[in-house]
């Protein structure tokens, strides 16, 4: 997997979940806590930490800008 995608399987899944989070923030009115569960994050704080690290803002801030 790592040879083909240049990242680990867990990094690939995390990236997919974060991108799906962005999509749901833009396309739905679901609360961030519900989106976290939909995309597979059992810990809301962990989602906030990863999202802010990757995109430079919290999911709520992202939704408000888009």
User: pLDDT tens for residues 13-57?
Assistant: 999 999 999 999 999 999 999 999 999 999 999 999 999 999 999
Q: Give the CA diameter of the chain.
A: 38
Is residue 32 within 8 A of residue 59, CB to CB? The reply is: yes
- The Cα–Cα gap between 61 and 38 comes to 19
Torsions phi, psi of 31, nearest 5?
Answer: -65, 150
- pTM of the shown model: 0.91
Is residue 21 within 8 A of residue 30, CB to CB? The reply is: no
CA distances from 11 to 25, 27, 30, 61, 62 (A): 21, 24, 25, 24, 22
């Amino acid at each position: 997997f790592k040879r083909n995608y240049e990242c680990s399987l867990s990094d690939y899944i995390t990236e997919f979940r974060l991108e799906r989070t962005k999509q749901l923030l833009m396309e739905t009115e679901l609360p961030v806590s519900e989106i976290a569960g939909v995309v597979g994050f059992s810990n809301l704080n962990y989602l906030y930490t990863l999202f802010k690290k990757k995109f430079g803002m919290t999911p709520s801030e992202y939704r408000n800008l888009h």
